[in-house]
């Protein structure tokens, strides 16, 4: 501080120079333009400078790349303690602005290295690095909270499954949209989560929307969000849509074939432009979202009949993965039962049940319209119906398994043969009635018992003319 109270001046610190020259691991002076006007011999050695005169007059930032001296000169504020990296070494430095004794204007700055050996602080720095690592792991886990499955969870080793997994790995390494085609319960969501988790986007959110489960009039808000007060009764706050929630990550569009035409156009725009417009706002928001779409419907046929936009179809159908139904890979039934029984035990805390080879063989006679979801359902019901069951064998299965799966039926006399479609429709009709009876008419429960989504149950009730109330 000088006599006028303006702050530290060059004159005031000049007597310190011989001391700094001898004892500081580094000391420098810069002028009001942040050019180097003095540097001590130690600092020159540290920076590998043979001739100090070669750097005098040069902008300090060119000589010491990580220095914050220009900031001190600009702001007039000191940086009393800072850690600066120089050629892989951590240096503890102090930087002080210098003032003109008459005007008080900042006319330069002085800096010195307080500490050039952080070795004694190694344990502290190690702890800091570990905490940083733990934080990164926790952040990753948090970001993955939406995705529970890895590719290893897609169980099976039959050729079609190996091909599915090969394509899923390919998809994880790319950023293109993925289209998953397959019947209900075949593991499309498991795959979508696994692809996301293995992709560079895995640290960002995985957001899933089941298009069939959201009422049509709410879909737009669900996808693109709502501006505050967009319509009477709308929330005062902004409601983010799934696109914004998935920003940086993956949006899984389940049952994309159920998307109404008006929304198909908006979805296409969002995918093409990477922009969304929340309902009731004139503002366009940029989003960076990778889309994985799935459907159990025949999208190509829908395009042909005009109920699904062809441009959207081509946009989604870049990397297509056909997920096989369970009946096409019955060889995987044993390992699937093993895995599912393990999962049931882990979730319920009950001891793990085993299954006999005979029981698996019996399961192989069933057609599995509800696929793996239905298989899990049958195993859960078997365990629920047979108390303290530790081994599932044929008698235990009989109670839970649909009749069609229980034993080869007696040969049908040729006279009673009918078209296969009629026989299948009859069987489905009777399964629907049984499920509705068993659930006292509760359709959600009936759908669960049958291992099919509620939307499929409704479809079938309508198509097969089953009156749920009779």
439 in Cβ contact with 457 (< 8 Å): no
The residue of the chain with the least Cβ separation from ligand ATP equals 187
Q: How far is the CB of 71 from ligand ATP (least distance, A)?
A: 54
Q: How far is the CB of 153 from ligand ATP (least distance, A)?
A: 6
Place of tokens 């002076």: 29
DSSP state at residue 289 = -
Nearer to ligand ATP, 182 or 241 (CB): 182
45 in Cβ contact with 25 (< 8 Å): no
| Helix residue spans in 148-298 (DSSP H) | 159-172, 188-198, 219-224, 242-245, 261-273
Nearer to ligand ATP, 152 or 421 (CB): 152
**Which residues make beta-bridge pairs with 79?**
95
Nearer to ligand ATP, 97 or 257 (CB): 257
Nearer to ligand ATP, 42 or 452 (CB): 452
Q: Among 113, 123, 110, 54, which Cα is nearest to 89's?
A: 113
Nearer to ligand ATP, 98 or 161 (CB): 161
Q: Among 159, 202, 194, which Cα is nearest to 178's?
A: 194
E-assigned strand segments in 307-353: 319-322
If 0-12 CB within 10 Å is exposed, 13-18 middle and 19+ buried, where does residue 215 land? exposed
Q: How far is the CB of 69 from ligand ATP (least distance, A)?
A: 58
Q: How far is the CB of 436 from ligand ATP (least distance, A)?
A: 20
- Strand pairing category for 27-31 and 106-115: antiparallel
Place of tokens 């914004």: 244
Q: How far is the CB of 371 from ligand ATP (least distance, A)?
A: 7
Q: How far is the CB of 59 from ligand ATP (least distance, A)?
A: 60
Nearer to ligand ATP, 155 or 279 (CB): 155
371 in Cβ contact with 324 (< 8 Å): no
Q: How far is the CB of 447 from ligand ATP (least distance, A)?
A: 10
Residues 6+ apart with CB under 8 A from 80: 94
Q: How far is the CB of 189 from ligand ATP (least distance, A)?
A: 3
203 in Cβ contact with 317 (< 8 Å): no
Nearer to ligand ATP, 154 or 224 (CB): 154
> Which residues are near ligand ATP by CB under 6 A?
153-156, 182, 184-190, 254, 296, 336, 339, 372-373, 376, 453
Nearer to ligand ATP, 155 or 203 (CB): 155
């Amino acid at each position: 501080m000088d006599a006028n109270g303006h702050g530290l001046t060059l004159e005031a610190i000049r007597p310190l120079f011989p001391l700094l020259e001898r004892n500081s691991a580094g000391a420098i002076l810069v002028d009001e333009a942040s050019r180097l006007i003095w540097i001590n011999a130690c600092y020159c050695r540290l920076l590998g400078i043979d001739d100090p005169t070669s750097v005098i007059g040069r902008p300090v930032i060119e000589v010491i790349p990580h220095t914050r001296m220009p900031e001190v000169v600009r702001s007039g504020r000191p940086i009393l303690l800072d850690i600066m990296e120089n050629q892989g070494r951590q240096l503890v430095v102090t930087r002080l602005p210098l003032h003109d004794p008459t005007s008080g204007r900042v006319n330069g700055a002085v800096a010195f290295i307080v500490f050039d050996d952080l070795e004694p602080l190694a344990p502290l720095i190690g702890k800091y690095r570990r905490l940083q690592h733990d934080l990164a792991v926790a952040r990753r886990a948090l970001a993955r909270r939406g995705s529970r499955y890895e590719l290893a969870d897609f169980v099976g080793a039959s050729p079609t499954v190996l091909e599915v997994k090969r394509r899923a790995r390919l998809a994880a390494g790319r950023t293109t949209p993925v289209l998953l085609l397959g019947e209900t319960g075949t593991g499309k969501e498991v795959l979508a989560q696994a692809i996301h988790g293995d992709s560079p986007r895995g640290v960002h959110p995985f957001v899933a929307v089941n298009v069939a489960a959201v009422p049509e009039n709410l879909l737009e808000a669900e996808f693109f969000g709502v501006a505050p007060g967009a319509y009477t009764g709308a929330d005062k706050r902004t409601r983010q849509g799934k696109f914004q929630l998935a920003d940086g990550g993956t949006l899984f569009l389940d049952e994309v074939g159920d998307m109404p035409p008006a929304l198909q156009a908006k979805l296409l725009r969002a995918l093409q432009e990477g922009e969304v417009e929340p309902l009731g706002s004139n503002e366009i928001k940029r989003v960076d979202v990778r889309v994985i779409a799935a459907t159990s419907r025949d999208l190509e046929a829908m395009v042909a009949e005009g109920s699904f936009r062809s441009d959207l179809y081509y946009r989604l159908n870049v990397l297509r993965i056909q997920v096989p139904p369970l009946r096409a890979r019955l060889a995987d039934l044993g390992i699937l039962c093993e895995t599912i029984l393990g999962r049931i035990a882990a979730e319920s805390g009950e001891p793990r049940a085993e299954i006999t080879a005979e029981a698996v063989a019996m399961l192989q006679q069933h057609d599995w319209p509800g696929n793996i979801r239905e298989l899990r359902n049958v195993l859960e019901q078997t365990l629920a119906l047979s108390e303290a069951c530790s081994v599932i064998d044929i008698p235990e299965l009989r109670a839970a398994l649909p009749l069609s799966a229980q034993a080869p039926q007696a040969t049908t006399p040729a006279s009673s043969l009918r078209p296969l479609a009629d026989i299948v429709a009859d069987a489905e009709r009777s399964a629907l009635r049984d499920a509705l009876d068993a659930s006292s008419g509760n359709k959600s429960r009936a759908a669960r018992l049958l291992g099919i989504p509620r939307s499929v149950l409704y479809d079938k009730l309508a198509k097969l003319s089953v009156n749920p109330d009779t």
